[in-house]
Amino acid sequence: MLKLNKAIIVFFVLFFSSASAGDNTSGNKWSFYTGTFDFSDDGAKSTLFGVQHINENLYKETFIGTLQPVTGVMITADNAGYVYTGFQVPYQSGSLTFTPSFTPGLYSEGDGKDLGHVIEFKSEIQLSLELSPNSELGISYNHISNASLGDKNPGANSYMFNFIKRY
């Protein structure tokens, strides 16, 4: 758990310092979220909190849409933690945005659920509503799994409420 705590501290130092370097049109979005980790497993269900950085200035146009890098950290009330980085592909229609994402990362079970391996993969879908040019409210669902890298692969299903802010 000490390694995870150090990784979280490094994450906040690196990304909060870069987020404050620009003005409100810097292209840095931060998603603050809370919800229920592994809601489908009554024995492992736990509250979760997280923060995710989206850099809108780094992107790649592809045949599936605009790939944007995302990096984040999530911790549960049972001290399980997940540090991740990957990409998302936002699809906007008016004030609604549908955003699938894929983010491999490192998982520490703490006092929470054993997911079977330190390397886990998070697949997520999010639906958000633009409140202003600089903020959105959203709801998301994700599944975390180790893709059978470990001896067991129970996975975890979670849902979250998101507040996304451009800084």
What span, in angstroms and rounded, lies between the C-alpha atoms of 81 and 5?
Answer: 9
User: Would you state the structure tokens that stand for residue 148, as one six-digit string?
Assistant: 């059978």
- Domain boundaries defined on the chain: 2-16+28-166
CB 150 within 8 A of CB 117: yes
Per-residue pLDDT reduced to its tens digit, 10-32: 555 544 444 444 444 578 999 99
Question: Helices in the chain by DSSP H: which ranges?
Answer: 2-19
What is the pTM assigned to this prediction? 0.82
The reported pLDDT for the residue numbered 42 is 82
The reported pLDDT for the residue numbered 81 is 97
Per-residue pLDDT reduced to its tens digit, 87-145: 999 999 999 999 999 999 999 999 999 999 999 999 999 999 999 999 999 999 999 99
What whole-number percentage of the chain has pLDDT above 90?
78
134-140 long-range contacts, CB within 8 A, separation 24+: 134/24, 134/165, 134/166, 135/163, 135/164, 135/165, 135/166, 136/97, 136/162, 136/163, 136/164, 137/161, 137/162, 137/163, 137/164, 138/31, 138/97, 138/99, 138/162, 138/163, 138/164, 140/33, 140/35
The pLDDT of 61-72, averaged and rounded, is: 95
User: Would you state the structure tokens that stand for residue 132, as one six-digit string?
Assistant: 């202003």
**Is residue 9's pLDDT more than 60?**
no
CA 101 and chain centroid, separation: 9
What span, in angstroms and rounded, lies between the C-alpha atoms of 107 and 118?
Answer: 5
Please give the class, per CATH, of domain 2-16+28-166: mainly beta
Per-residue pLDDT reduced to its tens digit, 40-58: 888 889 999 999 999 988 8
